[in-house]
Amino acid sequence: MARKLSLAFIILMLLWGAYGLASGGLNLTGLVFEDSNSNGVLDMGEKPLPGVVVSDGEAVTTTDANGSYRIQTDMGRIVFVSAPGTHHAPENKFYTRTESLAKGKDKLDFPLTLNDDTVDNNEFTFVFVTDTHAAAIRNAPEGIRKAYGEVEKLNPAFVIHGGDVILDALKAADEDKVVAQYELYTRQLAPVIKQPFYHTIGNHDVFGWIGLPNPKRPTKLYGKKAYEKYLGPTHYSFNYKHCHFVVLDSIGRTKDPVDGSTYYGVVDKGQLEWLRKDLSQIKASTPVILVTHIPTVNALGSVYGLRGDVVSTPSGEKAPKHQIANFPELFGEVLGNHNLKLALAGHYHTYEAIHWKTNQADALLVVGGSICGEWWKGDRTIGPASWPEGFTVIQVDGEQFKPNYVSYGWKGTEEQ
């Protein structure tokens, strides 16, 4: 009987592999394990990690009792591990671009490291930074180094970046200039942060949608490929202690025959499908933290009388440019059966915290200011209000989330 089962298993695996080759897919297998000595190999005495989610942003699978996973994906996709609440990926290597795998390689392991804080008390502090707009202008590199240095002094559990990492790729037509901005940030500035560091895509991180709206020969980095090359997947999840964090891509592209293509706030259907699968892996009571660049809800327009831009979506509908157009659907995905406690966003370079209280939800919606202020010119100013360059420190205690906006004392070029 055992021999028959073993033979059936072998045949099944051969058929599965043949299907992958025929369909042009990539059948990946691998291990997720605790890498105690940080050598990237599962050694004697190191333990595999069961029940850990692995995904390519579309398919979602989990590791078995031996820490093994199997996923069918395609060349060109990014495969990532949704780190469990007890572990993280060293050097932020929670993802791998499949095209970077050696030719013929179909095995991908994810060695993880135990978090520094192993106390199971549901208390921790993390930092949300956003809108660095990194480039060699107006002393921006020095400003980012100072900001990240102040973040380091706080020794948070981890850091999340809310997008608009670089100054601008959206209106750029010169790929070399975009590469220079990403290289500056990833090689010289991001390494200042020693804790696990997660990033979100912003509209200014997308290459050429306005500068090269419809190139006949798009470069390899056109659109969101530049971000993916330097900072990884545009949507993914991770866990820390008792909380589940979901980072989404909120940058959609319009089709406007009059004004030309630009961006607007939306979470596309593909992500919503993935989100359903991702959230199915956690308990309904698990606190969920949502991260997008463009806010889901923002009170700034109501307070200061801003009308904002209205754009045409690809389907011909009108939508707000600077809020997530389908946030009712997005919130339905999260709020319907899950415990949304915090939504973080950037984009406006302002700080606000809205208490979202309904029959279903009790959450904070936070827009987290900006590292760059008024694009490195000084404090961000709208009407009579002003927000200094800064970041948001968030203290977590069970289901209580307490944000505090902190200025790091930077003076922009027009204040000096």
**DSSP 8-state assignment for residue 148:** H
User: Could you give all domains of the chain from N- to C-terminal order, each with its CATH number?
Assistant: 19-114 (2.60.40.10), 123-407 (3.60.21.10)
Q: What is the pLDDT of residues 177-218, one digit of tens each?
A: 999 999 999 999 999 999 999 999 999 999 999 998 888 888
**DSSP 8-state assignment for residue 184:** I
Q: What is the pLDDT of residues 28-54, one digit of tens each?
A: 999 999 999 989 888 888 999 999 999
Pick the closest to residue 208 from 193, 199, 220 (CA basis). Answer: 220
Instruction: Specify the pLDDT at position 325.
Output: 92
Mean pLDDT of all residues in 115-123:
92
Going edge to edge, which strands form the sheet with 159-161? 197-199, 159-161, 123-129, 390-397, 400-407
Find out whether 181 and 144 touch, Cβ atoms under 8 Å: no
Q: What is the pLDDT of residues 305-342, one digit of tens each?
A: 666 688 888 888 888 889 999 999 999 988 888 999 99
- pLDDT band, very low/low/confident/very high, at 24 (cuts 50, 70, 90): low
Instruction: Specify the pLDDT at position 306.
Output: 64
Backbone phi and psi for residue 182, each to the nearest 5 degrees, phi listed first: -65, -40
Indicate whether this model's pTM tops 0.85: yes
| Lowest-confidence segment of 34-38, 258-262, 368-372, 393-397 by average pLDDT | 258-262
What is the DSSP annotation of 188-249? IIGGG--S-EEE---GGGSBSTTTSSS-SS--TTTBTHHHHHHH--SSEEEEETTEEEEE--
